[in-house]
Amino acid sequence: MSAAEERSENFRLLRDSAAAVVTPGDTKRIRALRFKDPGFDPAVWREMCDMGWAGLRTPESRGGSGLGVQEFCALAEELGRGLVPEPFVASVTSASVLTGAVLSEVIAGTRVVLPAWQERANSLDTTGDTVIAGGRVTGTKKFIAQAAGADAFVVSGKGGLALVARDAAGVSLAIERTQDGGNFGTLSMENAPCTALSGDLAEALEEASLATAAYMLGVMDRAFAMTLDYMKTRQQFGRAIGSFQALQHRAADLKIQVALTRASVEAAAVTLDSSQNPALRQAAVSRAKARAADAGMLVTRQCIQLHGGIGYTDEADVGLFLRKAMVLSNLHGGAALHRARYAEVAADEDE
């Protein structure tokens, strides 16, 4: 089997496995988990880990699947279609710097370890004011997605990386609900005990940014498909509203936005799998994340409008996709931030 055929088979197997937790048109599970701790189903997460998802980017020599960024993004897209809230992207990110028993537990889904790297809104700085030294850590990390379900955190700061247990002395975790029914955590550490970790989160966070864009692609693609179905069945003036030319034009514009986002995400995934040039990799990720953030908000908002008044009610499933897009658009940096970074690193690449 050629490399291309093997990769195609990987995609097929991943998409087939995603069907176990993604049921298009059925949002009962997602609605049942909203605004409740931990924000996801631990049993479903263990099932996902049994399929090897948490270790998808971890080399086989360390107990993972050793698959590429393209596979990572393909699976994230499928999960986005189903609004799956389990901490897939975050766990893959943490696994990149873990070893030993902790890594085995994360890959098995028996322990949830999330990356805690951000201190300021819409920032890609992974250090901030947090200090890690002498087996202790002091600082505050914010915007930790689905933190209510975490057992421990991979914390970045001055001094490198550290593993911090949620229940360690000197650690407190404040939970805030997000628009989509999930939660963000603020992790405060005051001379808290920690275990030093080797490695760097930088590359894993680049991949996480792209996987978040891929998840957003799945969100907008599914919302658009739902809207097309609605336009074929909703009657107005004795005709399906999808037959009105003005609405057809709007739908065509949204289809273009989805297609452009897909092209950008897929191209960036290929770049991350094939290039070690830092500027080229960052430019590809920022281009994809900026486009996904803008297009995701545009498409999901337009889908609400094309549903008419019912689209603005909480009972309408299409609204769940807009709520998810509102959270994802700024996760790992918003469109403006990534456009600015793209301009900077693309200029460096030209020099």
313: helix, strand or coil = coil
Higher pLDDT, 138 or 309: 138
pTM: 0.95
Q: What is the DSSP letter of 25?
A: T
| Structure-token pair, residue 57 | 């980017």
How far is 146 from 159, CA to CA, in rounded Å? 26
Q: What's the residue count for the chain?
A: 351
For residue 148, CA distances in Å to 129, 166, 189, 203, 319 come to 23, 10, 16, 25, 24
Separation of CA 18 from chain center:
15
In 3D, which of 72, 156, 149 has the Cα closest to residue 111? Answer: 149
Looking up tokens 């799956």 gives 84
Question: Is 160 a residue whose pLDDT tops 60?
Answer: yes
Q: Are 102 and 113 in contact (CB under 8 A)?
A: yes
Q: What is the pLDDT of residue 242?
A: 65
Distance CA 123, CA 192 (A): 25
Instruction: List, by residue range, all CATH 1.10.540.10 domains of the chain.
Output: 3-108
- Provide CATH 1.20.140.10 ranges for the chain: 202-350
Q: What is the pLDDT of residues 114-123, one digit of tens each?
A: 999 999 998 9
CA distance 71 to 214: 11
- pLDDT tens digits, 319-333: 999 999 999 999 999
Residue 311 contacts by C-beta under 8 Å, 6 or more apart in sequence? 303, 304, 305, 318, 319
What pLDDT shows up at residue 349? 60
What is the b/e burial string over 277-287, where b = at least 16 CB atoms within 10 angstroms of the residue's CB? eebbbbbbbbb
Percentage of residues in the chain with pLDDT exceeding 70?
A: 97
Q: What angle do CA 13, 255, 249 make, to 5 degrees?
A: 160
- Indicate the burial class of 170 (C-beta count within 10 angstroms; 0-12, 13-18, 19 or more): middle
Query: CA 161 to CA 245: how far, in whole Å?
Result: 56
CATH classification for the domain delimited by 202-350, as one of 1.10.10.10, 1.20.140.10, 3.40.50.970, 3.20.20.370: 1.20.140.10
**For 244-276, how does the pLDDT look when each residue is reduced to its tens digit (9 = 90+)?**
788 789 999 999 999 999 999 999 999 999 999
Q: Give the three-class secondary structure for 246.
A: helix
DSSP 3-state of 160: strand
Place of tokens 């057809």: 248
CATH number of 3-108: 1.10.540.10
The token pair at 171 is 């650690």
74-90 in b/e form (b: 16+ CB < 10 A) is bbbbbbbbbbbbbbbbb
State the span(s) of the chain assigned CATH 2.40.110.10: 113-197
Instruction: Tell me the CATH number for domain 113-197.
Output: 2.40.110.10
